[in-house]
């Protein structure tokens, strides 16, 4: 991949899978990773909130309910900055295909819903390199709710309980996730998301993603 320059300006490719919890991101990322490896490319995956320096602090603050909207935003930005500097950029410079489970768009959606100005957020993440492709798995709130209840269960923060949307856990989840989905819809055109119906089968979604990624790998191969 040494002869190819991605949108970020590095030798590697930056591919983002976006969507809310329950949208199927993890499954598609694992399938995409295996497929790219089968094409003989090096692949690195990085997930949201996994900095070895910051993630534990975020989890601890959440458990103790110490996060207001601004602290929430800044801690996640710190987590992203650390991963970018120590994991993502080195992999891109080395020519890897980097697959990210969520990107700055997650922060834009969540933090705007929590009351922050979008321009403030864009300035906060202005150093983030432009991805080569962003896939957005679009799933209606009602289906997200069923999936979450059937797997991990409703989370306090992912239900927006911290911002007092509703005293009812289920209603709060619907309102919060609905607002996040509205923010994602605004970003589809602005950032060129490749929006995919997240209610399709795993196989169908994987095929759509692979068909798009192939076009970049073909350029790399030329």
- The pLDDT-based confidence of 54 (bands split at 50, 70, 90) is very high
- How far is it, in rounded angstroms, from Cα 202 to Cα 102? 18
Residue 162: pLDDT over 80: yes
Q: Give the pLDDT confidence score for residue 179 in this predicted structure.
A: 96
- The pLDDT-based confidence of 2 (bands split at 50, 70, 90) is very low
Q: What is the pTM of this model?
A: 0.91
- How far is it, in rounded angstroms, from Cα 89 to Cα 32? 20
Chain center to CA of 84: 14
Domain boundaries, the chain: 13-136+190-221
Is 13-136+190-221 CATH 3.40.50.300? yes
Q: Report how far apart, in Å, the C-alpha atoms of 99 and of each of 73, 95, 109, 201, 209 are.
A: 22, 13, 20, 21, 12
- How far is it, in rounded angstroms, from Cα 28 to Cα 92? 21
Q: What is the average per-residue pLDDT within 67-77?
A: 91
Residue 152: pLDDT over 50: yes
- How far is it, in rounded angstroms, from Cα 24 to Cα 119? 29
Q: Worst-scoring range by mean pLDDT, 26-35, 99-108, 143-152, 200-209?
A: 143-152
- How far is it, in rounded angstroms, from Cα 53 to Cα 118? 26
């Amino acid at each position: 991949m040494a002869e190819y320059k991605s949108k970020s300006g590095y030798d590697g490719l930056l591919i983002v899978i976006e969507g809310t919890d329950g949208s199927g991101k993890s499954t598609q990322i694992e399938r995409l990773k295996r497929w790219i490896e089968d094409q003989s490319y090096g692949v690195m995956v990085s997930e949201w909130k996994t900095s070895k320096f910051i993630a534990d602090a975020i989890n601890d603050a959440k458990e103790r309910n110490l996060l207001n909207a601004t602290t929430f935003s800044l801690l996640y930005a710190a987590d992203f900055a650390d991963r970018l500097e120590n994991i993502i950029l080195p992999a891109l410079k080395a020519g890897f295909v980097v697959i990210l489970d969520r990107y700055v768009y997650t922060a834009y959606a969540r933090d705007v819903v929590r009351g922050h100005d979008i321009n403030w957020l864009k300035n906060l993440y202005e150093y983030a390199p432009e991805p080569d492709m962003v896939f957005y798995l679009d799933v209606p709130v009602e289906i997200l709710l069923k999936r979450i209840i059937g797997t991990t269960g409703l989370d306090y923060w992912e239900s927006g309980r911290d911002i007092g949307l509703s005293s009812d856990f289920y209603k709060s989840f619907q309102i919060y996730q609905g607002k996040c989905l509205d923010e994602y819809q605004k970003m589809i055109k602005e950032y060129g998301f490749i929006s995919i119906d997240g209610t399709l089968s795993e196989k169908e979604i994987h095929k759509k993603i692979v068909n798009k990624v192939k076009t970049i790998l073909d350029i790399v191969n030329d």
